[in-house]
Amino acid sequence: MEARMPISQWASDDRPREKLQRLGPRALSDAELIAILIRSGTKQESALDLAKRLLARCGNDLHRLGKLDLSDMMDFKGMGEAKAMAIAAALELGRRRRDTDAETRASVTSSASAFEIIRPVLIDLPHEEFWLILLDRGNRLLNRVSISRGGLHGTVADPKVIFKEAIEHRAASIILCHNHPSGQLRPSEEDIKLTRKLTDGARLLDITVQDHLIIGANGYYSFADNGMLA
């Protein structure tokens, strides 16, 4: 059966590398692109078979694949460290490309536009992180800044660090952002208390907290949109 033959013995039109060279990367399936990264399979299955099995484990969802760490991928028979690292590196490049696209946005006009800016760095994380979006007086993006990294259930957001970043960037306003790896978008009582504390502190510095976004796998929660900013 051709599916169990080494890719090198397939018809040239069916080989992922030759197909990419002939038709370009957009013509390839997710599994074929991953097979190129994997390079070689095992005696029992081709690189494409291995790629399909890896994707199937993730529900054929690249976002879920992006959440796997090296050890998770290496649990698959035939997936060594080098292959896992190649996939992780490719997925990270994809994230960084999205980052660049987000950073070209001239201004933040809504929670949705703020979400598009912060989404690439928070959407696939298995742990919590806290970030800031820093804006000038015209609501134009100055920078995105990582404040802290935590575990599965929380991270520390130090007001001193947050306001230091805002002052150093001469930000007129900030948007607070953190993710919930669980996917639960509703704010916790701690989230609400922190938002009030930071909003009150920012006023003393003539800085506006425009919003606080909680990012999950399927969307976001906006404090501003839900009338949760004091």
Q: 194-207, pLDDT tens digit by residue? A: 999 999 999 999 99
* Token pair for 220: 């976001």
CATH class of 107-222: alpha beta
Q: Where are the domains of the chain?
A: 2-98, 107-222
Q: 96-145, pLDDT tens digit by residue? A: 777 665 555 558 999 999 999 999 899 888 889 999 999 999 899 999 99
214 contacts 221 by C-beta, under 8 angstroms: yes
79 contacts 51 by C-beta, under 8 angstroms: no
State pTM to two decimals. 0.58
